[in-house]
Amino acid sequence: MPYFMGKQSDDTKAQIDILVEELNLYNYEYHVLDAPSISDEEYDRQFRLLRELESQTGYIPPNSPSLRVGAPPLDKFDKAVHSIPMLSLDDIFTVDEVRAFDQRVRETLETAVVTYTAEPKYDGLAVELTYERGRLTRAATRGDGTTGEDVTQNIRTIKTVPLYITGEDVPELIEIRGEIYMTKADFDALNEMREEGGKYLFANPRNAAAGAVRQLDPAETAQRKLRITCYGTGQIKGITLSSQTELMGWLKKHRFPTPYRFKTANGIGEAIDYIYEMDAGRAELPFNIDGVVVKVDVFALRERLGEKTRAPRWAAAYKYQAHQGQTRVLTIIPSIGRTGVITPVAILEPVAVGGVTVSRSTLHNWDEIRRMEIRTGDTVIIERAGDVIPKVIWVISHDAALDTQVIEPEVCPECGSKAVREEGGAVLRCIGLNCPPQLQGRIIHFASRAALNIDGLGDKIAVALFESGLVKDFADIFRLTKADLVKLPRFAEKSAINLIQAIEKSKSTTLARFIYGLGIRHSGEFVSKLIAAHFDAIDALYGVTAETLSLIKQMGERTSSAIAAFFADERNIKTIETLKTLGLTISNPDYREINDTGANRKLAGLTFVITGTLPVARRELEEQIRGAGGTVSSSVSKQTSYVIAGESPGSKLGKARALGVKTVSYEEYRALFSE
């Protein structure tokens, strides 16, 4: 049944139902079929309209995409008992074992040929989805096979999981089993984001997916871009399905994702051919698999075959051999990425692993080297993790003659700036403004609207400037001329003049904007304003200590350390001074304004969290609050004074309600705190 929070007209209800149906179809096209029929912008527009209508009327259909995120975080997961145990499968590793499995099946069934199904064995986390009269009522992990954990709130966030089953053949009850996984691309993007944030990296997509499913806050799960493939059932009431092939057809009909290249095989020979085919192409798949599952197709035959204590007799999992090789570590070098993270890389004697010659392997971080005791000259085992990324699995032996400890670098190997490790962190990072791998990203940030606001200097122009060699360090931006720019491809004289004028205009800036533009770690717009409020000029920050910065209210320890490290680096100070000689002037209205005894402090002591779309720019509202002495936080806690909620609020609204935090609209905020 739909949720009701108030009255609604039949016309609006019908409009909501239509929007829900269309948005669910678009989700299916985008996330399952990979064939969207509308743009992202149009989807967002319709989704905002749906949220607005649901908010106005209180009518929320049970399959509304708006229900996917928004539940408050849990304190712990409840236990979930499976009505039918989720058994594991017997692993087999050779084709001879596949044939032996077939022989046992045929002998028990007393038949010459058995129809099987074959599907990829996804490397993920097994779950069970329970639907009652079409509605998703529970999602549980496999656990020990008998009892798992109730992770319904988290599974709702996965856009490929239907929240409601519609149609003529909706069962009274059905338990659908599947695998939660991440694509390789989404996994790489997640690790890149975590690396940039100084967090530990996940070893593989399976670990990342499993960790996401077990997050107590559904909003965190939603950020992981999880997917599901459905391949089996537990209990069923109200419909009859006679085979695995028929089940796959029913699942597809009701928009459940099903295994890639599912095959019905007439005899074990066709199943073995499928195993070879998947093995040949598995490195190119967008997700990781570690084998192929072979099952007897007809359910009645499965009942005759029965089950052992922990595994069915009618299915087996063929496991691919790991792509491994033995080699020797020639040396270990530091390598720097575009976010400034300095990673140890093992240079190896070339070795063939899974048909690919491997000559280097990332060692992730310097703590990992110490943990594994990897040294130059070691004999090691290499595995292509996920059949793609080379990884050192373990050390077989040390070379006593080359027993050299690996020393963590103190400076960046690219630019010579100081290498900094955050307190308690595993990531080593270069803080240099002119570090070549970071420079392009740093200048794009420097030119952004909230920083120096160099209109026209976006990503594409920045790439062109770097590729042409016109920009080799930070100060080169202020050295550009019209004659330089017109040499670039597709750069007309007028656009060159406009960019030069924008650069000249940007030379007059404020201290808060300039500090933000430097891209110092943990120093966003708020921190930059805070610093500008306490230091009258950029020179006052040269050599500033973390202890001095930590005396500033609302300045955290990590932020203080990062800022102090940045301004302790002579190369960074030299670059700033060079910018000043090229015409940069930095005013600081924030210092005079904040230190004015007549400043408005009516919001002093109050903490605000902002969520949803507002009638004013969020940055403008944040500045209003801070200018009146208030604090703006990104997360809701018991210390939050007010949550200002606009249209389409996220999970913060639900958390505020759960904690009893006062929630106001923008208009209510204005009425409470206006002059």
Rg (CA), the chain: 30
pTM value surpassing 0.95 = no
Structural domain boundaries of the chain? 3-67, 90-319, 324-402, 436-594, 607-673
CB 611 within 8 A of CB 666: no
CATH number of the domain located at residue range(s) 90-319 in this protein: 3.30.470.30
The torsion of the CA quartet 56, 59, 62, 65, rounded to 10 degrees, works out to: -20
Q: What is the pLDDT of residue 4?
A: 39
Strands (DSSP E) contained in 267-323 are 289-296, 315-319
CATH number of the domain located at residue range(s) 436-594 in this protein: 1.10.150.20
580 in active site: no
Instruction: At 182, list the tokens.
Output: 């991440």
Q: What is the pLDDT of residue 110?
A: 93
Opening angle at CA 528, ends 224 and 608, nearest 5: 60
Give the CATH fold of the 324-402 domain: OB fold (Dihydrolipoamide Acetyltransferase, E2P) (2.40.50)
Q: Which contacts of 202-209 are long-range, i.e. CB under 8 A and separated by 24 or more positions?
A: 203/385, 204/123, 204/288, 204/385, 204/386, 205/123, 205/124, 205/181, 205/287, 205/288, 205/386, 206/123, 206/124, 206/125, 206/181, 206/288, 208/182, 209/124, 209/125, 209/180, 209/181, 209/182
What DSSP state is assigned to residue 67?
G
Residue of 7, 13, 79, 121 marked active site: 121
Question: pLDDT tens digits for 591-631?
Answer: 854 454 344 567 877 888 898 888 777 777 877 787 677 78
What DSSP state is assigned to residue 603?
T
Instruction: At 128, list the tokens.
Output: 């069970």
Q: Which contacts of 442-451 are long-range, i.e. CB under 8 A and separated by 24 or more positions?
A: 442/474, 442/519, 443/471, 443/474, 443/477, 445/517, 445/519, 446/474, 446/477, 446/517, 446/518, 446/519, 447/477, 447/506, 447/517, 448/517, 450/513, 450/516, 450/525, 450/619, 451/513, 451/514, 451/516, 451/517
Cα–Cα distance list, 34 to 29, 122, 145, 156 (Å): 6, 19, 33, 20
Instruction: Identify the segments of the chain with pLDDT beneath 70.
Output: 1-10, 30-36, 40-41, 68-75, 195-200, 203, 322, 354-355, 385-389, 400-404, 423-425, 592-601, 627, 674-675
Q: What is the pLDDT of residue 625?
A: 81
Instruction: At 103, list the tokens.
Output: 């022989």
Q: What is the pLDDT of residue 293?
A: 97
Closest CA to 289 of 251, 324, 245, 259: 259
Give the CATH fold of the 3-67 domain: Helix Hairpins (1.10.287)
Q: What is the pLDDT of residue 3?
A: 41
Closest CA to 511 of 445, 584, 563, 567: 584
CB atoms within 10 A of CB 173: 16
Give the CATH fold of the 607-673 domain: Rossmann fold (3.40.50)
Q: What is the pLDDT of residue 402?
A: 65
Share of the chain above pLDDT 70, in %: 91
Question: pLDDT tens digits for 153-165?
Answer: 899 989 889 999 9
